[in-house]
Structure 1
Amino acid sequence: MANTIHNLKQLRTVNVTRYVTPLREGGSMPAIAEADDGFLYVLKFRGAGQGHKALISEIIGGEIARVLGLKVPELVFANLDEAFGRTEPDEEIQDLLKASVGLNLALHYLSGAITYDPTVTKIEPLLASQIIWLDCLLTNMDRTPRNTNMLFWHKELWLIDHGASLYFHHSWQNWEEQAKRPFMLVKDHVLLPQADLLNEVNESFKTILTPGLIQDILNLITDEWLNEDIFKSSQAQREAYALFLNTRIANSAVFVKEAQNAKEAII
């Protein structure tokens, strides 16, 4: 059902050499930028509204999706030099660049990709169920008909933008309990009508996402971004993410049932 062979590699690091254009449809104003490897990237800034927490969500969500066999653009760390924004005429962009000096995150730019339109294309039930399961695990509120955060590129469906996932970490209140709760916003998920194979996907994905694999993904996150005051160390914060995710996986029947109930309610 899913590709269980995965080679989890360290994220590459590139240096940003050219700011191409802002993507103003994103609330955090990401940008298309060129790096010293000659490729274009969608650059997510640490100085944006949700800061490095959105970047942590991107790594966790993107790399979990990847090991589950879903299509996600390559994620890289992107260094932004102190001098980079000095010639930028737009004051808002200049402020964002100044606040983002250092290590940021970027996704490989899928040139020519088109936004998934649910009125034009229906996704087959297995893939729809896989994406629903992933978003329920991650509590990803940002895959709605208004903003699907999915692209068609070379006739394949690619997932982008997991920055709104794991919203518990913006306050860390009752996060142990939140790990066991259903994902109520699944009712708004753009792929819910096609998700007919949630039970089958649940059985498959639970066997792939072992605690060891979750830890390997969390180890990709740079210590620099794991600096919450409520934790004694970056490792303690990693352990909290691990506990949340592993608890959620162990209790996946709860969010699967909620998704199935939500699906029945719209039929």
Structure 2
Amino acid sequence: MMVKVAAVQMCSGVDPEINADRMEALVRQAKAEGALYVQTPEMTGAVQKDRKGLLAVLRSEKDDLIVARAVKLAGELGIYLHIGSTAIALDDGKIANRAFLFAPDGSVLCRYDKIHMFDVDLDNGESWRESAVYRPGENAVSIGLPFARLAFAICYDLRFPQLFRTEALAGSQILTAPAAFTRQTGEAHWHVLTRARAIENGAFLISAAQAGLHEDGRETYGHSLIVDPWGRILAEAGGTGEAVITAEIDLAETADARAKIPNLKNARDFSLQSL
């Protein structure tokens, strides 16, 4: 089955209302280009590293501006709209880095909370501790759609191949990894990791990204990607600024890739002998 998919690249700031307006314009562009499935990046609603600033604009899911706008857009445009993630206030005072998939009637099909927290110390003094603010998710998510089975991940999850393997073994043909990769880590690893996850699992991988210098001072790598099951890049955005990329994908290519290199079937259990 053929389907046209899109990834929306953004440079979100600290104001969710402005970000929602920019998201809407880009999603409408993707629809105008014929996309049935549209993905936005991680932290679509706000890129804000200051905790107090983020808490000031946080809302619960039922009051969230991005969620409300996505319901309207998906229903009006008749598309599957995947909000790569947005920050959602939880009852325990923590925050969920939560993805949503909206149906063409505007209903919420599923949610996914980012599992792996970006707790790292990089060169040049760059340090992050997502676990201090966010509550990690506990469940991988894969959902059957009329055109494919789709699975979820967010940003740092890309470095954990077992998540993608579990989703592929569940029959997922399209894997996703919307992101806000730092420029430092993106330059080193973004293309390699994204293509590897697609190749390892014989699946398409769609990754909408944040890109450029943000209002809060951080810089993200961009280069939103759509990759086929053989690891070929079908569409790629630049390293700065907004963009919409699209690709017409043939879901039969997942079966073809998995038949040529049946590593999902050939995997064996083993034990480690440590000497």
Question: Would the TM-score normalized by the shorter structure come out above 0.5?
Answer: no
Which of the pair is proportionally richer in helix?
1
TM-score by length of 2: 0.29
Which of the pair is proportionally richer in strand?
2
